[in-house]
Amino acid sequence: MSNSDFIASIAPGAKAAHIAHGVPASATMAQAILESGWGKSGLTTKACNLFGIKADSSWHGDSVLMPTTEYFKGVKTTVNAPFRKYATLADSIEDHALFLRNNKRYAPAFLCSDGCGFAVSIARCGYATDPKYADLLKGLIKQHNLSQYDNQDYAKQVCLFK
């Protein structure tokens, strides 16, 4: 699948999640691209998990144990961790939006009016351990013009956090 085909395949779910839950489609799509390696990661192919959402004690669905890279005090480390497993990519997108919306930790992100601001905010709130996470997401949003997928009621189509 080409990069443009991958974007086209996740755009409807990302736009629906934006309307239903307020997560900018551009941020969802950038995270899916980054976290899944354009849909080609082992976690995505084995578990339809686009976002690297782990299966903690609050998860009541299927899970899969996979190696993952984490940063502990700036040191890159590979660990095995349980991840949520989904039946479809659409289920992964919906659960990602609910995960962010229902987790008070990410509440500040919902004050952002665009995908880049949202990306910076979730990174600051600890979504990922990679210190470059926000910059990587913003770069993907800009490089692939993902802001075009944002609902006009939520987004100003401008990246506020440069």
Using N-to-C axis directions, what is the helix angle for 25-36 and 3-21, rounded to 10°? Answer: 130
- Which of helix, strand or coil describes residue 2? coil
The Cβ of residue 102 has, within 10 Å, a number of other Cβ atoms equal to: 10
The Cα 77–Cα 70 span in angstroms is 5
Q: Give Dmax (Cα) for the chain.
A: 41
Contact 122, 27 (CB under 8 A): yes
d(CA 97, CA 102): 8
Please give the positions annotated as active site. Answer: 70, 95
